[in-house]
């Protein structure tokens, strides 16, 4: 629990960004049971925390820094896991998994700069959130089996607007690619 509090203190913006990603497609509660059924149907199969330790080390994150969900709270329709590069914490990698289709994520108005990238023959895209005013995040979005994954790289201090966190996000996605379902 104490580790989570430190995470929020240092990465409050990352937590807000994670919540905003999860809000991008939202889960309604209409009281008629349809929204609940839809959320259950959209649950991902892939467990983002199942990434092998050697892959996490290749990316440069500390496997022991693993945090599941948002402060341990499961989000309907989503699973997520993140790691940082302890101890100085200059970056964070988060994998979001959802059962929602890739097109639904890519066409959401919260994302800009949707750019195709080659990821070992997979259809993948980099996206940036419109709320990322400090140039701190870049997501690589791809289909993985029946799920859609967002692999986010977040930088602690951001970058000058002339630079992008996307090259690092793409490199991280390439390192992760072999451990993801097809």
Over range 70-78, report the average pLDDT. 91
CA angle 165, 169, 175 (to 5 degrees): 150
Report if pTM > 0.85: no
CATH class of 2-177: alpha beta
Look at 21-35, 44-58, 68-82, 159-173 and tell me which has the smallest mean pLDDT: 21-35
**What local confidence, expressed as pLDDT, does residue 35 receive?**
36
C-alpha atoms less than 13 angstroms from C-alpha of 175 in its C-beta half-sphere: 21
């Amino acid at each position: 629990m104490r580790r989570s509090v430190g995470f929020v203190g240092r990465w409050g913006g990352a937590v807000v960004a994670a919540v905003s990603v999860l809000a991008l497609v939202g889960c309604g509660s209409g009281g008629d049971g349809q929204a609940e059924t839809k959320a259950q149907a959209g649950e991902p199969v892939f467990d983002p925390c199942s990434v092998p330790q050697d892959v996490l080390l290749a990316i440069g994150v500390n496997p022991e820094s693993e945090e599941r969900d948002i402060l341990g709270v499961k989000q309907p329709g989503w699973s997520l896991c993140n790691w940082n590069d302890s101890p100085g914490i200059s970056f964070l990698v988060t994998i979001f998994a959802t059962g929602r289709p890739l097109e639904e994520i890519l066409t959401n108005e919260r994302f800009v700069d949707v750019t195709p990238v080659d990821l070992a023959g997979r259809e993948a895209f980099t996206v940036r959130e419109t709320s990322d005013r400090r140039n701190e995040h870049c997501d690589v979005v791809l289909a993985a089996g029946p799920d859609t994954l967002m692999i986010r790289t977040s930088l602690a201090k951001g970058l000058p607007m002339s630079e992008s966190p996307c090259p690092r996000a793409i490199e991280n996605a390439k390192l992760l690619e072999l451990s993801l379902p097809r």
